[in-house]
Every structure is written in structure tokens, then in C-alpha cells.
Structure 1
Amino acid sequence: MYLEHVNLVANDINSMLKFYQAAFPYWFIRSEGTGTWYGKPRRWVHFGDATQYIAISDHGEGENRDLSGHQVGFAHFAYVTNNLDTTVQRLQKADFKVAKKGSENPFRKNVYFIDPAGFEIEFVEYLSDIPSERNNNL
């Protein structure tokens, strides 16, 4: 079993694609279309590769939850990368800034970005193949 996709509601698909294309330069728009969601028109895209993707639709209203608050809701999702520095460089070149750095850990490096819709995404590079070390919160 694996996670196939995450479905994000935004208000601007193009700005979201700019962020995710910088993070995942080998991904592509797998499919896209238009429709309605509970009576409201929307455009949607599935951006990913052959096995996983991010579904993005543009019918969002208002702001995302306050990530420093304690409201119930989505906190963040994470992707593992083989080269965190290169991932960060691509996102910075596309004008996105690191929102916060992860904690110091000898077995992993991680950083957090906020995408244009206000979702927090963690990128992590593991420096150990041993699960107990990778998951250790020193």
C-alpha cells in the first residue's frame, strides 16, 4: 500500500504548478479538466509521475489555516529527496523561500516551504538506511 495522491484546493493553479514544477522537475500534468464542485465551477490538474501525483483545483476561497496555531486541519506533508540542497536550490531559483529549517539531526536533513496556497511541505534527505536512526527525534 502507498499514498497515491494528495488533493489540494487552491485559488490559483498556475502559481501552484510553478512551485511543484520547481520541486519535481520530472513530474508532468497527467490529466486536467473542468467541472463543478457543489455548484461552483472549477479547473483541476493532476500533477505527478506514473505512480503518484498532487491533485490541484482552483475553486478555493479564503485563507489556509494558521500554521502556527492549533486549529484542527492539515499540518504538512513531506517528500523524501536524495539531494536536499538541490531541491532547495531549485525552489529558491523559482523565487520560493525556506519557511523554516528542520531540527538538527545526524541522520537526516529537512526544511519546510509554504506553497502558494499556504500548505506546508517538508522536504527531507535521510543520511542513514537504518530505520531506528532515521526515525529518531534526538
Structure 2
Amino acid sequence: MYLEHVNLVVSDVPAMIHFYQTAFPHWTIRSEGDDEWHGKPRHWLHLGDDYQYLAISNHGEGQNRDLDGYQVGLAHFAYSVDNLDSIVERLISNGYEIAKPGAENPFRKNVYFVDPAGFEVEFVEYLTDIPSERNNDL
């Protein structure tokens, strides 16, 4: 079992496409369309690869939760990646800033960015295949 997709409602779809294709250059728009959501027009698309994707649509209003606050809502989501350094380099060279560095850990390295819609995204590279080491709290 694995997580297939996350559905994000945003105000700027092109900015989201740029961020995620910068992180994952192999991602493409798998499908897209226009329809209504509770009487409001929306454009939606699925951005990803053959196994996972983000469902992104533009019918949102307002701002995301304050990531420094205590509001109920999504705190962050994470991608396990093979080469964290290359993702960080691509994002930084395209003007995205690290939101916070990950914790020091001998079995993984990670970093957090905030995407254009205000969602915090963690990228983590595991340096071991042993589950007890990958999931430790060092």
C-alpha cells in the first residue's frame, strides 16, 4: 500500500506546477479539465508520474493555515527521495528558499520548503533500509 495522491486547492496553479516540476522534473500533467465545485468554476489537473500525483485545482479562497500557529489542518506532507541534494539545489536555483533544515540524524537527511500555496513540504533521503534506523528519534 502507498499514498497515491493528495488533493490541494490553491489560487495559483501555474506557480504550483513550477515548484513541483522543479523538485521532480519527470512529473507531467497526467490529466486536466474544467468543471464546477459546489457552483464555483474550477480548473483541475493531476501532476505527477505513473504512480503518484498531486491533484491541484484553483477554486480556493483565502490563505492556508499559519504554519507557525496552532490551527487545525495539514501540518506538512513529505516525499522520500533518492537524492536530496539535487532537489535542494534545483529549488534554490529557481528562487525557492529552505523554510527549515531537518534535524541532524545519521540515518536520514531532510529539509522543508513551503510551496507557492503555503503548504509545507518535507523532502527526506534515507541513508539506510533498516526501518528501526529510518524511524528513530535521534
Identity value in percent: 68
Query: Can you list the C-alpha shifts for 1:20-67, whole angstroms capped at 9, x where unaligned?
Result: 000110010000011111111110110011111000001111110011
Query: Partner of 1:52 in structure 2?
Result: 52
Count of aligned positions: 138
Query: Partner of 2:13 in structure 1?
Result: 13
Q: Which amino acid aligns with 1:101?
A: P
Equivalents in 2 of 1:82, 1:50: separation in Å? 17
RMSD of aligned C-alpha atoms?
0.7
Alignment of 1:60-79 (within 5 A): 60-79=60-79
2:22 paired with 1:22: yes
Structure 2 unmatched ranges of 5 or more: none
CA drift of 1:79 comes to 0.3
Equivalents in 2 of 1:105, 1:75: separation in Å? 21
- Alignment check: 8 A CA contact 1:8 1:56 kept: yes
- Alignment check: 8 A CA contact 1:77 1:121 kept: yes
Equivalents in 2 of 1:105, 1:2: separation in Å? 25
TM-score of the superposed pair, with normalisation by structure 2: 0.98
Equivalents in 2 of 1:114, 1:2: separation in Å? 23
Query: Partner of 1:88 in structure 2?
Result: 88
Query: Can you list the C-alpha shifts for 1:2-29, whole angstroms capped at 9, x where unaligned?
Result: 1110000000100000000001100100
CA drift of 1:99 comes to 0.4
Equivalents in 2 of 1:137, 1:126: separation in Å? 14
Q: Which amino acid aligns with 1:40?
A: K
Query: Partner of 1:99 in structure 2?
Result: 99
Query: Partner of 1:124 in structure 2?
Result: 124
